[in-house]
Amino acid sequence: MVVGTVAKLWRYPVKSLKEEALTHAEVLADGLAGDRTAALMVDTPTHSRAGKPLRGKESSQLHLTADPETAASYAADANVLVSLTTEPARWFDARPVSVLLDLWVRDVEALVGEPLDPLRFRPNLFITAAPGFAKREADLVGAVLRAGTVELQVVDINARCVAITYDVDGGASEPRVLGEVARNRDNVLGIYCEVLAPGVVSLGDELTMVPPASTPAPAG
């Protein structure tokens, strides 16, 4: 079954900071190469995130810059001290690869009555759905997806937080986005995947749903 076409590829070299657009991506066993390989750790001992990464939930400005020093200044403005770390090698909130379909974004656009930039939802793969494809997130949990030479296993839905209310260009926040997703989509927008087969995915690749590998019949 054809799910759609890869329309955008993004990685986020420093967790919660600005995206990097790609024409193709090497997908390793633990996610896209170069994705979330660093984070800003909270050094303020009295902060609720002390010793943990500063996230978009704690700052509405982090996504506006790719520069850790600038992001650190945003944190300092809020009386939070941070330092850049690359240990361990990955900083995911949940699973290594996030996938979002334009079909699902259109659901939310209809609810809020305005167009929404998919970057607001920070996916790795943004997919233009094939004509007639109508499955929503929960329908895909457990499915195996293939794009380029990469195979992904859908393992969970993507539950959302306040970060999706932030405008990608730094304009006014829109609380209705999270409100409508919570009320009308069970707070779900997008899916999380694990990597079954590493490889390369490129813009324009078809994303297909493939049957799981069959289990060999027992001998005798």
Q: pLDDT-based confidence at 105, cuts 50/70/90?
A: very high
The CA distance from 182 to 188, in Å, is: 7
Return the structure tokens found at 87.
């240990």
Residue 80 above 90 pLDDT? yes
Task: Find the mean pLDDT for residues 26-55.
Answer: 95
Q: Is the dihedral of CA 205, 66, 95, 120 positive or negative?
A: negative
Helices (H), 47-206: 68-77, 102-112, 137-140, 175-184
Residue 38 above 50 pLDDT? yes
- For 108-157, the pLDDT digits (tens) are 999 999 999 999 999 999 999 999 999 999 999 999 999 999 999 999 99
| Nearest Cα residue to 41 out of 24, 55, 22 | 55
What pLDDT sits at residue 118? 98
* Mean pLDDT for the chain overall: 94
Q: What is the chain's percent helix, strand, coil content, to nearest 5?
A: 20, 35, 45
The CA distance from 116 to 130, in Å, is: 20
Least confident of 1-10, 21-30, 162-171, 211-220: 211-220
Q: Can you list the domains of the chain with their CATH numbers? A: 2-36+92-210 (2.40.33.20)
